[in-house]
Amino acid sequence: MAAHAQWQIQNSNTTADLRGIDNVGGGVAWASGTNGTVLRTEDGGYVWQTCAIPPGAEKLDFRGIQAFDANTAIVMSSGKGDLSRLYKTADGCQSWKLVFTNPDKDGFWDAVRFEDKNHGMILGDPVNGRFVLLASFDGGLHWTRSDAPTLAAQSPDEGAFAASNSSLHIYGFPALDFVTGGPPGALVYSSDYPDKNQTGDDNCDSHGVASRVQCFKAQIDYEVAKVPLPAPTSTSGGFAIAGDWLHSPQASVVVGGDYTKPNESSGTAAYVDFHFGGGWKPATTPPHGYRSAVAYDISSKSWITVGPNGTDISTDDGKNWRALRPDPARHEAPDADRNWNALSLPFVVGPRGRIGKLNPAALAR
């Protein structure tokens, strides 16, 4: 079988470190990174447009981006205190509006996710011993913080990783999972709905915005589960969580490891097989090193995970992983399969302005 380039390297016209990527579909995708960098394509990556830098964002690190169409997107910077910000554009990134700034001087935002143009969430590291979880019901203009006591960190040194905007996963707003790391080890926090909220509804999908806000703010609890990843350190844990219950209903996957040991393969992935029950299990054959992002490819029914030293694929819902292809083809650069940070299939982004687009032929055995 002929070798196929797994990632078709694209020209981003930037040297920024890219960690945000969101594929809208129909050829539209947005990317973000250091030095206030935001990029946009409308033709499937053939041309990446350099967007206007949001006001005051020249030194910000945009770790997350969520796009809604070719004109509308929200970008999130990560940093201590007011260095964590949200900007929004509605005119194809010609101009930006600052819509929200982290109010906690000791806070740090890790991920932003939207289910649709109105409903979104922000995950932040613990402030006063409790993870910050914020919800918006109006497209990011206003935010409400959860008061749930079950968001208490398990250790003073526990936190989430802002490596790929993938530590938070929404699967039916405000239902969510997020994954953490640090000395307590890798943990997954999952929303646990009350039987009835104060309005008599079965969950937060009630008729008035006020009741939904109140349900999120005070009535949703969070269960914590241990994930069997590497020996806990301040640089290790779960970096990304994903699930596709519509197309792969029996599994969710966590990837991670220790980012200071990128070639260490032990404990770099775990999965939950809901079809057979039980908790998180370590991958039988793990990815070939630390991994910072994971996503499900519907067309090939495969999970794909990326990191500094390569790309791995699983066709059995996270139980076993193999290198997407062990070595680059002769016509490819030696690093064609590696140096990646974040995924939004078919796109992948990495340091020094690296953008790749998945070649579907590379998924064939």
Q: Give the CATH number, domain containing residue 307.
A: 2.130.10.10
| Residue 221 in domain | yes
Total domain count, the chain: 1
CB atoms within 10 A of CB 255: 33
- Closest to 108 in 3D by CA, of 145, 80, 143, 144: 80
Question: How do residues 113-148 score in pLDDT, each as one tens digit?
Answer: 999 999 999 999 999 999 999 999 999 999 999 999
CA atoms within 13 A on the CB side of 7: 30
Is 351 part of a structural domain of the chain?
A: yes
Per-residue pLDDT, 204: 57
Query: Is there a domain that residue 41 lies in?
Result: yes
- Select from 191, 303, 305 the least CA-distant residue to 239: 305
In a domain, 205, yes or no: yes
* Span of 41-45, 229-233, 248-252, 275-279 with lowest mean pLDDT: 275-279
* 277-286: average pLDDT: 87
Q: How many CA atoms are closer than 13 Å to the CA of 308, on its beta-carbon side?
A: 15
Residue 90 CA to residue 54 CA, distance in Å, equals: 13
Give the confidence band of 172 by pLDDT, cuts at 50, 70, 90: confident
> Which has more pLDDT, 172 or 255?
255
Distances (CA, A) of 139 to 33, 77, 121, 136, 143: 22, 17, 10, 6, 10
Rounded to the nearest 10°, the torsion over CA 117, 119, 123, 124 is 90
Asked if the structure places residue 153 within a domain, the reply is yes
Q: In the prediction, which pLDDT does 245 show? A: 58
Higher-pLDDT residue of 98 and 300 is: 98
- Boundaries of domain holding 92: 7-363
Q: How far apart are the first and last CA of the chain?
A: 9
Q: Residues 210-259: pLDDT tens digits?
A: 567 777 887 788 999 999 987 788 899 999 999 865 555 557 999 999 99
Cα separation, 250 vs 243, whole angstroms? 9
pTM (2 d.p.):
0.91
Pairing state of beta strands 73-77 and 85-89? antiparallel
Those residues whose C-beta lies under 8 Å from the C-beta of residue 157, and which sit 6 or more positions away, are 182, 183, 184, 234
Q: What percent of the chain has pLDDT over 70?
A: 86
Q: How far is residue 189's CA from residue 224's CA, in Å, rounded to a whole number?
A: 5
Asked if the structure places residue 2 within a domain, the reply is no
Residue 331 in any domain: the answer is yes
Residue 40 lies in a domain: yes
- Name the residue among 257, 254, 222 with its Cα closest to residue 241: 254
